[in-house]
Copies of this chain bind each other. A is one copy, B any other.
Amino acid sequence: MQVTPWDVEGVIDYDRLIEEFGMRPFSEVLGEIENPHILMRRGAIFGHRDYWRIVEAMKAKEPWAVMSGFMPSGLPHFGHKMTMDEIVWHQKAGGKAFIAIADMEAHAVRGLSWEKTRELALEYIKSIIALGLDTNAIIYFQSKSDHVKDLAFELSAEVNFSELRAIYGFDGETKLAKMFIAAIQAADILHPQLLEFEGPKPVVVPVGADQDPHMRLTRDLAARASIFSFEQIKGGLRIRSRKGRDYLDALKDLNFETRFYEEHADVFGNIDEIEREVRSIEVKLGGFAFIPPSSTYHRFTTGLTGGKMSSSKPESYISLLDKPEEAGKKVMKAFTGGRATAEEQRRLGGEPEKCVVFELYSYHLIEKDDELKQIESDCKEGRLLCGKCKKIAAELVRNFLKEHQEKMEEAESRFEDYIIIGL
């Protein structure tokens, strides 16, 4: 298997992804979450980094944010709907929502005109509003966000070509714009922590597993662009300054026992409280004091035709703008987890865990767990055959799209209720 932001190939082994990339299984935090989203409960979200920061902020009712983005180079589909649902859920759970329209990437890397990116972007904005986004959100076009562009430039001083090559596989042919986009994306993720947005806070980025390289780079840049670094020691934290020894002097006002050394200071006490106080000192000194961003990772959406979802094969996915009837037909043609013959399926049962139709139910169409369970057991025990099952799914898809598209139309008339930077 190959998983990079530009290429996902082969059968994805999610346990191996967790292990190789150093993510954590989402199951370990699931129990801490109040009313988890179906994508969380049903294993679509399989991994995370530092989600405990979000859990703690939710519990303590302290400020935190959710941030993700969409590249307007094609139309939004059910894969994007996963991310949109995740943003909306986190917003309802108390996070400030930031939504990037990655028009700079679509323009410079994919070669779309600004007019085209704008036209496509509107469909994403309408869709996420239709999916329940509250007006208390910040939607922005990358190309129109000075905060993001200027922060990207600052971050670009902290990463060299060798690192970009190692993370993204860039080579001599790679255009400078594509390299700079790496810094833009890091700035997308970190800018909710700028002073203009009320300073350092935990930020969760719900993404597909292929986006993890961005997270790893961004977490590195968050540390490098900040003044103080933290290392846990017995009874406290060791603090170093990345921008010169002088800054350590500012720690003398800490309300904790502090011992100063040549190149660091050791601070003793509750490490969360120390970290918080040190970050607030850094902000006063003009530093970024970025908290490493958290992330959740969801599974890739399987193509309706069995293989990879591909924007060049419209029959492989359901666009949120598909005519309901067309989408229903696509479902009827979908590759399922059924057996070769009806007789065999009655005898052996179907395999919902391999079925894109069941995936649709599970991630998008059926909210109630007992309803989903019923379908699952009916399938497994050979009571529900694929033909009938697909009819049910097609009906649900048609209804969903009909309603969604009505809401999208309505959303357009409510744009002015939202902050949409660059609209």
One of A155-163, A274-282, A384-392 contacting the partner: A155-163
Q: Mark A178-209, 1 if CB is under 8 A from B, else 0.
A: 11101100000000000000000000000000
Chain B residues near A150: list those with CB within 8 A. Answer: 143
Tell me, yes or no, whether A417 is within 8 Å of chain B by CB.
no
- Neighbouring B residues of A161 by C-beta, 8 Å: 161, 170-174, 176, 179
Instruction: Give which listed residue, B104, B146, B160, B175, contacts A172 with CB less than 8 A.
Output: B160
CB distance from A161 to the nearest CB of B (A): 5
A–B pairs, 26, beta carbons within 8 Å:
A104-B153, A107-B157, A108-B154, A143-B150, A143-B153, A149-B149, A156-B175, A156-B176, A156-B180, A157-B175, A157-B177, A157-B178, A160-B174, A161-B161, A161-B170, A161-B172, A161-B173, A161-B174, A161-B176, A161-B179, A164-B176, A165-B172, A176-B179, A176-B182, A179-B179, A180-B180
Whether A160 and B143, one on each chain, are in contact in the complex, defined by CB atoms closer than 8 angstroms, is no
A179 to B162, CA, bound (A): 13
Instruction: Enumerate chain B residues within 8 angstroms of A143, measured Cβ to Cβ.
Output: 150, 153
A159 and B172: CB pair below 8 A?
no
Choose one: B146, B156, B173, B178; the contact of A108 (CB below 8 Å): B156
A423–B176 alpha-carbon span in the complex (Å)? 29
Complex contact A160–B176 (CB within 8 A)? yes
Distance from A240 Cβ to chain B, minimum over Cβ atoms (Å): 18
The residues of B that contact A107 with a CB separation of less than 8 Å are: 157
Q: How far is the CA of A165 from the CA of B173 in the complex (A)?
A: 11
Measured between alpha carbons, how far is A162 from B104 in the docked complex, in Å?
22
Asked whether A108 lies within 8 Å of B153 as measured between CB atoms, the reply is yes
Which residues on the B side are within 8 Å of A178 (C-beta)? 157
- Classify the interface of chain A: helix, strand, loop or mixed: helix
Question: In the assembled complex, how far is the CB of residue A263 from the closest CB belonging to chain B, in whole angstroms?
Answer: 19
Residues of A120-173 at the interface with B, using a CB-CB cut-off of 8 Å, are 143, 146, 149-150, 153-154, 156-162, 164-165, 170-173
* Cα A22 to Cα B49 with chains together (Å): 54
Q: Is the CB of B176 within 8 A of A157?
A: yes
A235 to B373, CA, bound (A): 79
Q: Which residues of B contact A172 (CB under 8 A)?
A: 160-162, 165
Q: How many Å lie between the Cα of A183 and that of B181 in the bound state?
A: 14
- The reply to whether B173 and A180 form a contact with Cβ atoms under 8 Å apart is no
In the complex, what residues of B have CB within 8 A of residue A162's CB?
Answer: 172-173
Contacts of A174 in B (CB 8 A): 160-161
Q: How far is the CB of A31 from chain B (nearest CB, A)?
A: 41
Apart from the given pairs A149-B149, A157-B178, 17 other A-B contacts in the complex at a CB distance below 8 Å: A104-B153, A107-B157, A109-B157, A143-B150, A153-B180, A156-B176, A156-B180, A159-B176, A160-B175, A161-B161, A161-B170, A161-B171, A161-B174, A162-B172, A176-B179, A176-B182, A179-B179
Partner of A175, one of B146, B158, B171: B158
Which one of B104, B149, B175, B183 contacts A176 once the chains associate, using CB atoms below 8 Å? Answer: B183
Closest CB-CB distance, A185 to chain B, in whole Å? 12
Task: Give the interface centre of A108, A150, A176 by most chain B CB atoms within 10 Å.
Answer: A176
Residues of B near A170 (CB, < 8 A) are 161
Q: With A146-B146, A180-B180 in contact, is A175–B153 under 8 Å at CB?
A: no
Residues of B within 8 A of A177 (CB): 153, 156-157
Chain B, Cβ-Cβ closest to A109: B157
Q: Produce 1/0 per residue, A343-386, CB < 8 A to B.
A: 00000000000000000000000000000000000000000000
A173 near B160: Cβ-Cβ < 8 Å: yes
Q: Which of chain B's residues has its CB closest to A115's CB? A: B286
CB-based contact B179/A159 at 8 Å: no
B-chain residues with CB within 8 Å of residue A164 when the two chains form the complex: 176
For A158, the chain B residues whose CB sits under 8 A away are 175
CA distance A289 to B176 in the complex (A): 22
A160 CB to closest chain B CB (Å) equals: 5
